[in-house]
Structure 1
Amino acid sequence: MREKLSFLLGVWIFVCGFCAAKFVVEKNNLKVTSPKSLKGVYECALGNFGVPKYGGAMVGSVVYPNTNQRGCKSFDDDTLFKSKPGSFPVILLVDRGDCYFTLKAWNAQNGGAAAILVADDRLEPLITMDTPEEGSVANDEYVQKISIPSALISKSLGDSIKKALSSGEMVTINLDWSETLPHPDERVEYEYWTNSNDECGPKCDSQINFAKNFKGVAQLLEQKGFTQFTPHYITWYCPEAFILSKQCKSQCINHGRYCAPDPEQDFSRGYDGKDVVVQNLRQACIFKVANESGKPWKWWDYVTDFAIRCPMKENKYTEECSDQVIKSLGVDLKKIKDCVGDPNADVENPVLKAEQDAQIGKGSRGDVTILPTLVINNRQYRGKLEKGAVLKAICAGFQETTEPAICLTPDMETNECLENNGGCWQDKSNNITACRDTFRGRVCECPMVQNVKFVGDGYTHCEASGTLRCELNNGGCWKETRGGRMYSACVDDHTKGCKCPPGFKGDGVHICEDVDECEEKLACQCPECKCKNTWGSYECSCSGNLVHMQESDTCIAKYTSSLTTGGFIWMMIFILAAVSVGGYAFYKYRVQSYMDSEIRAIMAQYMPLDNEAEVPNNPLHHDI
């Protein structure tokens, strides 16, 4: 017992070598969209478990349970918080306290919630919700099964939300992870802070499993130049006053400069902390040598092979076993040994000194104090260490439209649309949905179908819009055909919505009923008129020899109409005939007169005519 207490004290001393350093709480934006009194953007702290939707967003309505308000017990109904089709996803709000954060998230997930918010129970700056400590009584198996995102909110915001909910108001929230990870260019730079220890329980197991599962993806991204990867190892130093103590000697190399905790937390058996430090150093050197040869991805081969071939449990965690793995991979063993140097020498090791310097946060990254830790584009990743979750986060670090093909493959789909349509709008009859599965998470976005754009919030409704909307499912409007006549409530223009056509009344979507123009006195109002209703229209008739004039809604006599019309036509024919005959007669008269005058003139040159007297040679001529 005294040895274990001494060990814990030693670890505390090692950690406190960095007590003056800074840990950064990674945050994302939380936007309250309703009610009006709470509208605004607030900060929340990402949990270090679950799957944050890096690069994406989620809109949901907040539910605060009437019982089990701390979320430490299982909710009786596993569909209690499950969203219904056409409704917003449920974001469960619980209070901090009484149990681990991870247990609250696990219970919320099993209850059907899409995300969980934990309201702090004290006025303090936001903290990072972490997984249970190693060796705790918590069931570590469920921690890796948490898939919903989680966040801690301040006490004041939590109180305001609960007050609004208690007064009957609906609280809707937009959780936005789109800017949580920077995405400045076409290459993602990421660091993986890990450890070669395989005897620290579930956390060590998760690191080994992650390396095995992620190796292929990591090597592909690195070989294609999409990423720049660097592994790192946390070490501590032993204060000078304790360098000669049993704890420092068993846990440190290079005269107390680089230390790691005892793997089994028991100095009397198994491997020591210094064995872990040496293996960490060998792995760092393998990356350094492989990187210098232009093949940094060899590191993934080594760590996975070493975990399989040289486990502590089988007492194979040795330099000899490590050498065999190095040789099998074709890495220069001599360069590795030169890089490692002499662990017993009282000098600094340049590789481990660089690792300690890198552990200190620079800029917005913050110090690395949690193992394991991923740093993507200089921001610490929060979420579970699992291939799919990590790959989505890395893909979110690429500039839009520059993501490699692996980010767009079906393997990257979240499959959230398969269950409950992802809580998005859908038209089952026409197989149209607003749910779209991407590596950035499920998106509820009204679709484009056959060049017809649907508009709406994507959750509760989507409707066709634009000039072609009536060609697709009649724009979602009412349509019916009877007796060869078709009527539609869809107008094929830039408008949206549905409106019953003239002669019908209704909502235009589900029904349009025929209007009885005769009963409602909308037509055929003249005294002699008789009205007959038809589907979508009406017919007017008149009694006796009268006919209906629709333009003036009057009845007039048939013969009057015939006489007037026929007389006018015959009169026009007579006038045209008379004008034609007169014109022809005048034409004949003019021609005949002209010919007579010409003949008389010719004959007058040769003989006097009978009716023409001689003219005396007198310049004057008087009429008789």
Structure 2
Amino acid sequence: MREKLGFFIWVLFLWGFCLGKFVVEKNSLRVTSPESVKGVYECAIGNFGVPQYGGTMVGTVVYPKMNQKACKSFDDVDVSFKSKPGGLPIFLLADRGDCYFTLKAWNAQKAGAAAILVTDNRIEPLITMDTPEEENSRADYLQNITIPSALISKTLGDSIKKALSSGEMVNINLDWRETLPHPDDRVEYEFWTNSNDECGNKCDSQIEFVKNFKGAAQILEKGGYTQFTPHYITWYCPEAFALSKQCKSQCINHGRYCAPDPEQDFSRGYDGKDVVVQNLRQACLFRVANESGKPWLWWDYVSDFSIRCPMKEKKYTKECADEVIKSLGLDLNKINKCIGNPEADEENPVLKAEQDAQIGTGSRGDVTILPTLVINNRQYRGKLDKGAVLKAICAGFQETTEPAVCLTEGIETNQCLENNGGCWQDNDANVTACKDTFRGRVCECPVVRGVKFVGDGYTHCEASGALRCEINNGGCWEEKRDGKTYSACIEDDSKGGCKCPPGFKGDGVKTCEDVDECKEKLACQCPECKCKNTWGSYECSCSGNALYMREHDTCINKEGTTSSSWNVFWVIFLGLAVSGVTGYAVYKYRIRSYMDSEIRAIMAQYMPLDNQGEAPNHVAHADI
């Protein structure tokens, strides 16, 4: 019941706009052959693909024998519309009906067609072919359609089919040169947008367009070539429902300004009123920036806010928005004053002006499509693509009066020269996350001398990798005192990290304080020890003549140590002396005994020894 009531309320919100004026943007179509169809006709520009604003395209028409509504892929019937070398591009003619216009264009593009012409199936005024809504708007192919498309009348379609069936070649010139007026030397354009980032592919493509186009937009604005104004669509809640739960959650200022629930669910997530307030903040930011002579800062804020404060990460808050505003150097007080009180039962002048601007004036119809561009009071049709939109804006200048940005994309914005583009920087290390590109400045953590910085690029970047301590000490604490240098950077940590070295305590990033090892009883705990704290370390000493042994945290008496050492020396010396004398005596004794035995043996051979008797006398005789 709650969802049904919410839907009914939104039907009432849209009631007034359904009765408003919607202008179909057209371009001319010239048939150059055959003679039976030759002439100039009107066709309605599709609100997808890439129209060639300011240019022309010539091709030959093909009407397929099968799959004439182009609702199926032409790969299934093995048909190709790629032009042959030297031949004209092929424009596919398809019948209206049975499927979305975008699907017809996508199938034609995949088959190689250069453009698609959809012929109406009834006689009626031309309508604008738009992208599908709700769940079908999430189809992946929608943002990939690049060929131009146009709706032609049933009468013209029948004439082309008749000529083709007779074997005649139908050649057509699509002309977008006069699609946009160029009354003076400045192009005025409006971008109707929304801060909601939970609406699928449309929201994703919108913020991608802002990021890509902002560089060109800022150069055009700074050079005075364009006058840009952002706008936001709001609806009102009928007085009878102003106090209902749905209106209170979707509206501000007592139901005067409302936006749909981002998740289409009133019971969770952010509410429509959150979107309205953020839209109001963006509109006020533009007013303040414009008053300060820097309207182009709106592009920076919107792109930065989408990166830093997305709904999907629950950061879609005033606090996050304020941080982005401060980084751009804008006056936050003026912006808050412009926003006013969203709870007050009164009109908000900014949002009232936005509602008035939605109503079509002159050749422009009511704005009911988001996102969209209005260039020189003509509604842009086609994909929100940087190249396509830039071409459309440049088509608003008189020929040969276009600024240089219309002729080349090789540009730099030089935004980093002022306030560092609102990005992170380290003045000590001369490192910045600001990078100028033709898309405008980008806040990306840099790579310096092979060291990669990581972070969001806006508020912080930290060096990472093995060499990170060589750049600004890896963003860690470092201090030099009395010839000593201590650092908290961990050199062998490839992921990065800061840790106070031994002897210090703190976060390692901003501070590391000396630890008083003496006071905290971390050293010199022996009874005889005396402790003295030093920066990053400590010194221990012992009373009297004792010697401090740091590895054992103890004191040893110097005299006792000396006496003991000499005693050991003399014991060893005397021991060696005794051993030497004993050895020498043994040696001499053994030598003398050996010599005595040898002398006795020699003397025994030449003379009797004293203890031997005389030998008997022997005589020789012969027997007779």
Question: What interval of TM-score do these two structures reach, taking the shorter chain for normalisation?
Answer: 0.5 to 0.7
The match for 1:510 is: none
| 8 Å Cα contact 1:78/1:111 also seen in 2 | no
1:431-446 to 2 correspondence within 5 Å?
none
Distance 1:160 1:92 in 2: 15
Aligned-pair distance for 1:392? 1.1
* Preserved CA contact (<8 Å) 2:49 2:146: yes
Q: How big is the shift at 1:32?
A: 1.2
DSSP-derived class of the 1:117 partner:
strand
Please report how far the alpha carbon of residue 215 of structure 1 lies from its aligned counterpart in structure 2 after TM superposition: 1.3
Coordinate RMSD, CA, aligned:
1.4
Matched, 1:21 2:14: no
Aligned partners of 1:9, 1:78: CA distance in 2, in Å? 47
Q: Secondary structure at the match of 1:291?
A: helix
CA deviations on 1:375-414 (whole Å, 9 max, x unpaired) are 11111000101111111111111111111112112669xx
Residues 258-315 of structure 1: CA deviation (Å, up to 9, x unaligned): 0000000000000000000000000000000110110001111111111111111111
Q: C-alpha distance in 2, partners of 1:13/1:349?
A: 21
Where do 1:352-501 residues align within 5 Å?
Answer: 352-409=351-408
**Separation (CA, whole Å) in 1 of partners of 2:164 and 2:126:** 23
Q: How does the TM-score come out when normalised to structure 1?
A: 0.64
Quote how far apart the aligned CAs of 1:246 are: 1.6
Aligned length: 410
How far apart in 2 are the matches of 1:229 and 1:192?
8
Deviation at 1:330, TM superposition (A): 1.0
1:398-434 superposed Cα distances (whole Å, 9 cap, x missing partner): 111111112112669xxxxxxxxxxxxxxxxxxxxxx
> Equivalent residue for 1:84?
84
Q: Match of 2:46?
A: 47
Deviation of 1:139 (Å): 5.4
C-alpha distance in structure 2 between counterparts of 1:337 and 1:367, whole Å: 30
Structure 1: how far apart are the matches of 2:139 and 2:202? 9
Q: CA deviation at 1:319?
A: 1.0
SS in 1 for 2:342: coil
> Is the CA contact 1:210–1:386 (under 8 Å) kept in the aligned structure 2?
yes
Aligned-partner Cα distance in 2 for 1:7–1:234: 19
**Given that residues 17 and 366 in structure 2 are in contact (C-alpha distance below 8 angstroms), is that contact kept between their aligned partners in structure 1?**
no
Task: Kindly provide the amino acid, as one letter, of the partner of residue 38 in structure 2.
Answer: K
Distance in 1, matches of 2:9 and 2:410, equals 45
Residue in 2 that maps onto 1:328? 327
Alignment correspondent of 2:250: 251
Contact 2:45 2:151 in 1 (8 A): yes
Q: Is the 8 A contact 1:7 1:265 kept in 2?
A: no
- The alpha carbon displacement at 1:8 in A equals 2.1
Partner in structure 1 of residue 605 of structure 2: none
Paired letter, 1:226: Y
For 1:69 and 1:8, how far apart are their aligned partners in 2? Answer: 37
* CA separation of 1:197 and 1:93: change in aligned 2, threshold 3 A: same
Partner of residue 116, structure 2: 116
Q: Which residue of 1 aligns with 2:146?
A: 147
Match of 2:98 in 1: 98
Are the counterparts in 2 of residues 50 and 146 from structure 1 also a CA contact under 8 Å?
yes
Partner of 2:267: 268
| Structure 1 unpaired stretches of 5+ | 413-624
Superposition deviation, residue 39 in structure 1: 1.4
SS at match of 2:134: coil
Supply the distance in 1 between the matched residues of 2:38 and 2:277 (Cα, whole angstroms). Answer: 54
Provide the identity percentage: 79
Q: Is the 8 A contact 1:252 1:260 kept in 2?
A: yes
In 1, Cα distance between equivalents of 2:98 and 2:410: 39
Tell me the TM-score normalized by structure 2: 0.64
Q: 1:144 to 1:78 in 2, by over 3 A?
A: farther
Contact 1:116 1:149 in 2 (8 A): yes
Q: Deviations over 1:570-592 (max 9, x none)?
A: xxxxxxxxxxxxxxxxxxxxxxx
Secondary structure of the structure 2 residue equivalent to 1:353: helix
- SS, match of residue 22 in structure 1: coil
CA contact (8 A) 1:3 1:266 kept: no
TM-aligned CA distance change 1:293 to 1:411, over 3 Å? closer
CA distance in 2 between counterparts of 1:381 and 1:360 reads: 16
Q: Offset at 1:367? A: 0.8
Residue by residue, what CA displacement relative to the aligned partner does 1:472-516 show, whole Å, maximum 9, x if unpaired?
A: xxxxxxxxxxxxxxxxxxxxxxxxxxxxxxxxxxxxxxxxxxxxx
Q: Which amino acid aligns with 1:377?
A: N
Q: Which residue of 2 aligns with 1:129?
A: 129
Alignment of 1:286-301 (within 5 A): 286-301=285-300
Is this contact kept in 1: 2:192–2:232, CA < 8 A? yes
User: AA paired with 1:109?
Assistant: Q
CA contact 2:189–2:374 (8 Å) conserved in 1: yes
Corresponding letter in the other structure for 1:135? E
State how far apart, in whole Å, the 1-side matches of 2:265 and 2:65 are: 46
Q: How far apart in 2 are the matches of 1:404 and 1:313?
A: 39
Matching of residue 7 in structure 1 with residue 16 in structure 2 = no
Structure 2 unmatched runs, 5+: 412-624
| CA distance 1:117–1:43, change in 2 (3 Å) | same
Q: Secondary structure at the match of 2:32?
A: strand
Partners in 1 of 2:205 and 2:78 — Cα distance? 28
Question: Cα–Cα, structure 1 residues 394 and 79, in superposed 2: closer, same or farther, change >3 Å?
Answer: farther
Contact map agreement 1:62 1:170 (CA 8 A) in 2 = yes
Which amino acid in structure 2 is aligned with residue 117 of structure 1?
L
SS in 1 for 2:144: coil
2:523 equivalent in structure 1: none
Contact 2:14–2:235 under 8 Å retained in 1: yes
Work out whether 1:317 is the aligned partner of 2:316: yes
Residue 34 of structure 1 is matched in structure 2 by 33
Whole-angstrom CA distance in 1 between matches of 2:371 and 2:306: 16
Q: CA deviation at 1:244?
A: 1.4
Q: Secondary structure at the match of 1:38?
A: coil
Q: Is the 8 A contact 1:134 1:201 kept in 2?
A: no
AA of the residue aligned to 1:283: Q
| 1:16-65, Cα deviation, whole Å (9 max, x unpaired) | 13233101010111111111111111111000000000011111111000
CA contact (8 A) 2:17 2:368 kept: no
C-alpha contact (below 8 Å) 1:377/1:397 kept by paired residues:
yes
CA apart distance, 1:149: 0.4
Amino acid at match of 2:89: P
Q: How far apart, CA to CA, are the structure 1 residues paired with 2:244 and 2:409?
A: 56
Against the structure 1 CA distance between its residues 205 and 410, is the aligned structure 2 distance closer, same or farther, given a 3 Å change threshold?
closer
In the superposition, relative to structure 1, how do residues 78 and 276 fare at CA in structure 2: closer, same or farther (>3 Å)?
farther
Q: Give 2:274's aligned amino acid.
A: D
2:338 corresponds to which residue? Answer: 339
Match of 2:71 in 1: 72
Instruction: Give distance in 2, aligned partners of 1:140 and 1:381.
Output: 22
Instruction: Name the CA distance, whole Å, in 1 between partners of 2:79 and 2:165.
Output: 22
Q: Counterparts of 1:6 and 1:151 in 2: how far apart (Å)? A: 38
